[in-house]
């Protein structure tokens, strides 16, 4: 495989920003502010309703898909955004969250989980689980069929989605895991064999922010490093979407293999020539819309 021309163009543009591993605390704040401004400026699709909520003590946003019958109780998705645990919030991921709601026809709860380095592991996971619990307990009041709640996460969000599913086995209907970020040692061969948007030094930097300084033991915790988990067979029906030229491609494939070996029902889809981050940017990557369409189709299957 080789990079798609759209991936080549995106990598050239993204390469103009300073690498994240060079950021200090002030740099993190600046990068977050820039990303937020870009998210606020990004064109957004209309949805039927937007409601900011307190989801069990966690700030979150409910999005009801465009054209939905206001009286109908719809299936729902808890969306956990990417950003290496450190970056991203309700505004940076508002546009993709709206697309997710509209393409799937589901209510989407976007979770503004706590981020490191201010709040280290397991804060983000605790918040993700709290938001799911809130959705199950209170979703009916917001037009949700609480018997049909799934989870979606991209990159670090996929890591949190796995942890959430395993903390609440049997609760979720399905999980969509987009180029999951899973290995705190960044040890997979694809870090060296691909050029797909997240280099090893940046990957390790994100993991270091996520844990207490010097606490290497937690890097082996299966809730932080899901590939170490012996409970992957307890995952709900899952779709793993992999970018073919992503540095995380091996992690996604390892997840599929290990979860299947442990008895999970897992579907794998690979998007050839795509790099890390493609899913969020349909204006740049045609495959972004295809991936959403694929997820919507998969979610609708019995």
CA atoms within 13 A on the CB side of 3: 18
Average pLDDT over residues 97-124: 99
Summarize the confidence of residues 56-85 as an average pLDDT.
98
Mean pLDDT for the chain overall? 96
Per-residue pLDDT, 102: 99
pLDDT for 179 equals 98
Q: What percent of the chain has pLDDT over 70?
A: 99
Q: Which of 183, 246, 250, 294 is catalytic?
A: 246
Average pLDDT over residues 125-142: 99
Residue 193 has pLDDT above 90, yes or no: no
- Please indicate whether residue 94 is annotated as part of the active site: no
Catalytic residue among 7, 128, 155, 238: 155
- Residues 89, 97, 276, 294: which is the catalytic one? 276
Asked if the peptide bond before residue 122 counts as cis, ω within 30 degrees of 0, the response is yes
- Sheet of 237-243: strand order equals 49-54, 59-64, 107-111, 74-80, 144-154, 174-178, 237-243, 266-271
252: pLDDT strictly greater than 80: yes
Range of the domain at 162: 5-300
pLDDT at 214 over 90: no
Q: What is the pLDDT of residue 97?
A: 99
Q: 276 an active-site residue?
A: yes
- Local confidence band at 192 (pLDDT 50, 70, 90 cut-offs): confident
How far apart are the C-alpha atoms of 195 and 7, rounded to whole Å? 10
Total structural domains within the chain: 1
List pLDDT tens digits, range 66-78. 999 999 999 999 9
* SS3 label, residue 84: coil
Average pLDDT over residues 25-42: 95
pLDDT beyond 90 at 112: yes
**133 labelled catalytic:** no
Q: What is the predicted pLDDT for the residue at 236? A: 99
Task: Read off the pLDDT of residues 138-148 as tens digits, 9 standing for 90 and up.
Answer: 999 999 999 99
Q: What is the CATH number of the domain that holds 142?
A: 3.40.50.1820
pLDDT of residue 16: 80
* pLDDT tops 80 at residue 1: no
pTM metric for this prediction: 0.97
| 212-228 mean pLDDT | 93
CA-wise closest residue to 27 among 281, 275, 205:
205
* Contact by Cβ (8 Å): 86, 121: no
């Amino acid at each position: 495989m080789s990079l798609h021309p759209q991936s080549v163009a995106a990598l050239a543009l993204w390469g103009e920003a300073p690498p994240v591993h060079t950021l200090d605390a002030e740099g993190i704040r600046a990068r977050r502010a820039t990303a937020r401004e870009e998210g606020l400026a990004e064109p957004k699709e209309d949805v039927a309703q937007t409601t900011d909520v307190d989801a069990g003590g966690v700030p979150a946003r409910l999005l009801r898909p465009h054209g939905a019958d206001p009286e109908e109780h719809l299936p729902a998705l808890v969306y956990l955004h990417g950003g290496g645990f450190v970056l991203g919030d309700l505004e940076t991921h508002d546009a993709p969250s709206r697309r997710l709601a509209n393409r799937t026809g589901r209510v989407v709860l976007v979770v503004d989980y706590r981020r490191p380095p201010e709040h280290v592991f397991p804060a983000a996971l605790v918040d993700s689980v709290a938001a799911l619990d809130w959705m199950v307990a209170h979703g009916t009041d917001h037009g949700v069929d609480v018997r049909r709640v799934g989870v979606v996460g991209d990159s670090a969000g996929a890591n949190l989605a796995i942890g959430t599913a395993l903390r609440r086995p049997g609760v979720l209907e399905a999980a969509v895991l987009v180029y999951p970020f899973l290995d705190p040692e960044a040890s997979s061969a694809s870090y060296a064999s691909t050029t797909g948007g997240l280099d090893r030094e940046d990957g390790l930097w994100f993991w270091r922010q996520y844990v207490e300084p010097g606490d290497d033991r937690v890097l082996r915790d299966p809730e932080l490093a899901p590939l170490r988990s012996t409970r992957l067979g307890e995952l709900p029906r899952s779709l793993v979407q992999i970018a073919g030229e992503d540095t995380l491609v091996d992690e996604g494939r390892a997840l599929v293999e290990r979860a299947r070996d442990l008895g999970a029902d897992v579907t794998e889809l690979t998007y050839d020539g795509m790099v890390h981050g493609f899913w969020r940017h349909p204006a740049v990557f045609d495959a972004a819309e295809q991936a959403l369409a694929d997820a919507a189709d998969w979610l609708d299957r019995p």
